[in-house]
Amino acid sequence: MDKLKSKGKKNKVFGIFLATKGISAKLSGKKKGAICLILFLFLFSTYFTLSSSPNVGAQTTGEKLNDIKQKIADYQKVIAEKQSQIQSLQNEIAILDATVEQIRLQITQTQLQIDQTNADIAATEAEIALKEKEIRQKKKVLGELIKVLYRDSKSNVLELITTADNLSELLDRMEYNSIFQKKIADILGDVKNLKAELEEKKLALEQKKVELGNLLAQKKQEETELNQSIVAKQQILDQTQGEEDVFRKILSDLYLERASLTKKYNEQYGSGATAYPWGNPAAVDGSGNPIWFSDPWGFYVGECTSYVAWKRSTIGKPFRNTRPGAGSAYNWPNLARDQGYQVGGEPKVGAIMVFPRPLFPGDLWGHVAYVEAVNPNGTVEISEYNWAAKHTYSYRKNVVPSNYSAVFVY
């Protein structure tokens, strides 16, 4: 396309030249020379302008790479925000779930109390029935006693004296009547107290049953409202996770495009696998979401830092996060010095290749890789995580460290 445009520009200049040649043929002398000079300068200026004017709208490989890097940074930021929202929603749902479980336990306990109260009411009613039977029996005995007392009360003292065989019998009958009266009074008191006690107990149980019923209704209402809230939160969570999936797909495509553009450095991607235990991709939960936890060296799994820390451990040179909260790749030279490792500019097999930040606009983390081989021409072969695609292993060949201003940890 550029060659065609260049050819078109030259044709325009050639056309002007022919027109000039036709005009100059009709002139002579000084006029002809002056006009030719003017036309020559005009032609030269026109050709220079046409040949040097930029191809507007074209984008160089470097500009396109930077544009992709910026998009990657933007989408990484959006995904991080979505992950934060997802984590927040998951925490809220977990709290709501725990609250629901507590309320369900309270409902169960309340229902058990209601069942026990119902059992107590039934037992009290049975006890009342027995006591009423006992009362009826006592009333029967009381009736007999009252008859005897009434009969004796109809007799005057003279009759008691005349009917008694002796004074001792008279005294016994009088004492007997007195005992009858006391017995009657005791029975009447027992019946009255027993009835009042049972009625009070039954009333208390009925009141307790009402209170427990109200509590049960309240807890069930709370459970219903919490379940509705969980459903709403889950809908938001599903929507947010769906949005995250969309952005992850876009980000994945950008990683692939970036990977293709790194060919401008004549880098090549090799094949192969890794025994790294937390990835390809990184560990995920049942919904396919990354499980964020630290590896034995203090780095988040699935990241370039975790892979390189694991790789170094396989050669007996463990690399730990000596600065929690500041363990990003760009800061590894400082972490290396904390652990007594040397830092330099010469690549060596087994060294850590540190890519300073920013690798692209908005990059806050930098990058690290493991040097697998050093070639005679100064290029290196590296294994890494989180470069060609998110949380994915890759192997790159023909990498020029100076293209990234890289340093090495030995």
Contact 368, 408 (CB under 8 A): no
Q: Mean pLDDT over residues 369-374, rounded? A: 97
**pLDDT per residue over 117-149, tens digit each?**
888 888 888 887 887 787 777 777 767 766 766
Largest CA distance in the chain: 193
**pLDDT per residue over 225-243, tens digit each?**
888 888 888 888 888 878 8
pTM of the model: 0.42
Q: Mean pLDDT over residues 182-192, rounded? A: 73
Residue 61 is predicted with a pLDDT of 57
Buried b (16+ CB within 10 A) or exposed e, 323-339: eeeebbbbbbbebbeee
Contact 345, 333 (CB under 8 A): no
Contact 396, 353 (CB under 8 A): no
Higher pLDDT among residues 189 and 253, named by residue: 189
| Cα–Cα dist 314/323, whole Å | 22
Residue 306 is predicted with a pLDDT of 95
**With the CA atoms of 31, 35, 36 and 38 taken in that order, what torsion angle do they form, in degrees rounded to the nearest 10?**
140
Please state the φ and ψ torsions of residue 188, each to the nearest 5 degrees.
Answer: -60, -40
Percentage of the chain lying above the pLDDT 70 cut: 67
**pLDDT per residue over 299-353, tens digit each?**
988 899 999 999 999 999 999 999 988 999 999 999 999 999 999 999 999 999 9
Contact 212, 117 (CB under 8 A): yes
Q: Which of 104-108, 193-197, 302-306, 317-321 has the highest mean predicted lDDT (pLDDT)?
A: 317-321
Reply yes or no on whether the pLDDT at 12 is more than 70. no
Q: For the chain, give the number of residues.
A: 410
**With the CA atoms of 318, 321, 323 and 324 taken in that order, what torsion angle do they form, in degrees rounded to the nearest 10?**
-160
Q: Is 381 helix (H, G, I), strand (E, B) or coil?
A: strand
Strand-by-strand arrangement of the 407-409 sheet: 268-270, 393-399, 380-385, 367-374, 352-355, 407-409, 343-344
Higher pLDDT among residues 125 and 58, named by residue: 125
Reply yes or no on whether the pLDDT at 253 is more than 90. no
> Of 304, 257, 261, 260, whose CA–CA distance to 279 is shortest?
304
Residue 56 is predicted with a pLDDT of 40
E strand or H helix that includes residue 384: strand 380-385
CA angle 45, 49, 55 (to 5 degrees): 170
Higher pLDDT among residues 334 and 33, named by residue: 334
> Of 91, 90, 93, 112, whose CA–CA distance to 101 is shortest?
93
| Cα–Cα dist 271/278, whole Å | 19
> Of 275, 323, 274, 318, whose CA–CA distance to 297 is shortest?
318
Give the type of residue at 26: K
Mean pLDDT of the chain: 76
